[in-house]
Structure 1
Amino acid sequence: MTGRILRLTVGQLSLTFGMFWLVMSLTVAVDRHVFAGAAIAGGGLVLLLWRRIRLPVRLVAAGAVVAGLAGTAVGLAVRSVSTGGMYGWFEGRGWPFEWLGRGGLADSPGEARRRAVEDGWGVDVLRLLADVTVWAYTGLVLICLVGLAARAQKRRGTPERAE
């Protein structure tokens, strides 16, 4: 009973937050905002409709965890570098959220970059958690879509009974 209430609460909050995020991202032409909002809204919808979906819980949960970790790791391939102010150099990695970063300030752009590289990488834990969550929701939605499509294909392939 407690698990069902928790699932419904997280599902409703996720659907509401994801839809709000999607509506707010209409004013900004940034693909990562649309992706994150759609993933969270879709994951919330899956959680709300879980009893109707009827897929193996362990398989879906394992797939969501793997997708969360794999998506976050692959997202590190996305790199952004910016300069600003009186010679600041900043580099970030991660998608849809930059959760790994380094930066430096100095009297010249080259010196700012050298300081940033020398100081090393820093982890933004909240953005990391958000990144893992978005990728886990994405995995949840994709696994459920594949499972439902496979079930529909299997039903389509079985011959109808003559009565």
Structure 2
Amino acid sequence: MSLTFGMFWLVMNLTVAVDRHVFTGLAMAGGGLVLLLWRRIRLPVRLVGVVSVVVGAAGTVAGLIVRTVSTGGMFGWFEDRGWPFAWLARGGLADSPDEARRLAVAGGWGVDWTRLAADVVVWAYTGLVLICLIGLAVRAQKGRKAPELPE
């Protein structure tokens, strides 16, 4: 299902060249492919699990660096954080832009739990794909023998 969802996400966002959409689609499709071919990959389950969890948590926290601020209406001020999905937000409406910003800051942050869960899953799939690619590269490197020199 992950492979299908990732490919669907990529196809539906072909006309929108936004990096977060491409990242999300590739992570989901790659993770789905890894899960589909798991028996053939034969990597240590514990290592892959730990790396996926760590990358999922670290990527979600690191995504908070991305900040989006928008204004709108008569007058609104909104700030979102998170990448690829903005899951932390605050906003306010008032009679002036400065008052709207003051109200937003005073109101504090709100968490969108659905987007947070999606963000963690996408980052965990990214960790899954990365550790599998690294593991397969290391295995391929070990499998190559150095050429013997003629005597």
What range describes the TM-score normalised by the shorter chain of this pair? over 0.9
Cα distance in 2 for partners of 1:16, 1:64 equals: 20
Inter-partner Cα distance in structure 1 for 2:82 and 2:112: 11
TM-superposition CA deviations, 1:142-162 (whole Å, max 9, x none): 0000000000001114679xx
Instruction: Tell me the matched-pair count.
Output: 148
If the length of structure 1 is used for normalisation, what is the TM-score? 0.89
- 1:105 and 1:62 map into 2 onto residues whose CA distance is 43
Aligned-residue Cα RMSD (Å) equals 1.1
User: What 5-or-longer segments of structure 2 have no aligned partner?
Assistant: none
Residue in 2 that maps onto 1:77: 65
If the length of structure 2 is used for normalisation, what is the TM-score?
0.96
Alpha-carbon distance in 1 for matches of 2:145, 2:86: 45
Matches within 5 A, 1:1-163: 13-157=1-145
5+ residue gaps, structure 1: 1-12
Answer 1 or 2: which has greater helix percent.
1
Q: Which amino acid aligns with 2:84?
A: P
Give 1:132's aligned amino acid: V
Q: Which runs of 4+ in 1 moved over 6 A?
A: none
Q: What is the distance in 2 between the residues matched to 1:86 and 1:27?
A: 32
CA distance in 1, matches of 2:133, 2:40: 13
